[in-house]
Structure 1
């Protein structure tokens, strides 16, 4: 009997290991695919214009003598100064109580209740009492400082710039990345071609990593299973 159960157990373990490995590879592939959305945007290739003999400027070229050298065209680079800091605190207390009662008078015979030794035996009363008290508190804070250079992915009709980009840093046996996407007003860009992150509208900022340190800071799949809201335990 034991010899028949052993192959089945080994087969189940092999399937579980295969699913675990494939799940890890799919997770890494998902991160790589997601990173492609933040790849740099290349400038548009300008059409070759034919210069007239003896002319100083070619027709159709953009020449600005007084503007700052800041990002404004497709593919231009822009440095975003990351200065993110948020704090949140929430607490809640709930108290509920409910009491209910009902009395049922028993039937009578000739106007008299049915009793035993003078005590009514068919009278009934029902009562219910319930109480609930709940307390909850949550505190969260985060801070992100640094720099990331992005490129202009699109120039919107109102002149604002859609920017996005990512930065990877390899440290020892792991890699860390910062990704950013958002909308920047040209007027918010400083003369040194930088903009503060809290001036980026509709900002998406992601910071994470891959490798030994990132894996060590994550709980295992068994812990995540028992800590899931869907677990029956």
Structure 2
């Protein structure tokens, strides 16, 4: 095997290694989705019934609150989150600069007379510069999400706030669509109908996506992500 063949194989191996790194980077650019375990409903803890007094009207742990509303306040309680998400953002910029410079040197004289060729000065020097720049940019984005999802209280924090989470799946023909939400709410913000708007959920994480044939058709392939990545030479 001669030196040229060795160098050719080395270059081919290097090109394949660079391509593999680019493909891995393009595939890893897709954001990781949360697992379903993060949004499973929380069940209330059930205390063991040690009192087996079956002959009495009153039983411990089975009291009824006649004068307290049924708003969510404990782990496992159900609350409805009304999705009222709408964002509008726009940005524009414009820049213009200009610069003009002129430098001239007087005609050089020799022994009191200008240096000429056929009567035309040949040692006259002058420099001029003119620069102009103009740039414009604009960006507009709008998002809207409406609907409702019922979730459960997963944790009661020490300050009284409630951590909620939940998901809703809908199967339609060739695919599935789901809405997931989790965050922290204040009991004071819960309405009389045991509902709260989504803009009052702190640290809210709302996901609306789908799975199936329709979702796969709307997603970009790995080769397309490669050409859209920062490693693309085009």
TM over 0.5: yes
TM-score (norm 1): 0.70
Is 1:79 the counterpart of 2:80? The answer is: yes
- How far apart in 1 are the matches of 2:207 and 2:106? 70
Does the CA-based 8 Å contact 1:70-1:78 persist in structure 2?
Answer: yes
Deviation track 1:87-133 (CA, whole Å, cap 9, x = no partner) reads 223322222223334446688766x6873336554554433332222
Aligned residue number for residue 200 of structure 1: 201
Aligned residues: 213
Q: Deviations over 1:13-32 (max 9, x none)?
A: xx98xx79xx59xx79x53x
What is residue 147 of structure 1 aligned with on the other side?
148
Q: CA deviation at 1:82?
A: 1.2
How far is the alpha carbon of 1:225 from its aligned partner? Answer: 3.4
Matched with 1:216 is: 217
Which of structures 1 and 2 has the larger relative contact order (alpha carbons within 8 angstroms, sep 6+)? Answer: 2
Q: Which residue of 2 aligns with 1:4?
A: none
CA RMSD of aligned residues (A): 3.9
> Please, what TM-score do these two structures have when normalized by structure 2?
0.70
* Structure 1 contact 113–120 (Cα < 8 Å) conserved: no
Q: Which runs of 5+ in 2 are unaligned?
A: 1-11
- Structural mapping, 1:35-54, within 5 Å: 35-46=36-47
Tell me the equivalent position of 1:169. Answer: 170
Residue 207 of structure 1 deviates from its aligned partner by 0.8
Q: Residues 211 and 113 of structure 1: is their aligned pair in 2 closer, same or farther, counting only changes over 3 Å?
A: farther
More deviation in 121-130 or 208-217?
Answer: 121-130
How far did residue 157 of structure 1 move?
2.2
Q: Quick one: structure 1 residues 113 and 200, their matched pair in 2 at CA, closer, same or farther if it must change by over 3 Å?
A: farther
Distance verdict in 2 for CA 1:69–1:96, change over 3 Å: same
> Which residue of the partner structure matches residue 3 of structure 1?
none
Query: Distance in 1 between the 2:106 and 2:222 partners?
Result: 60
- Which secondary structure state, in structure 2, belongs to the residue aligned with residue 36 of structure 1? helix
Aligned to 1:5: none
Q: 1:96 to 1:36 in 2, by over 3 A?
A: farther
Change (3 A) 1:225 1:123: farther
Task: Show structure 1 runs of 5+ residues with no match.
Answer: 1-7
Contact 1:156–1:162 (Cα < 8 Å) also in 2: yes
Deviates more, 1:123-132 or 1:69-78: 123-132
Deviations 1:131-170 (A, max 9, x none): 2222222222222122211121221222111111222222
**Counterpart position of 2:9:** none
Q: SS of the residue aligned with 1:37?
A: helix
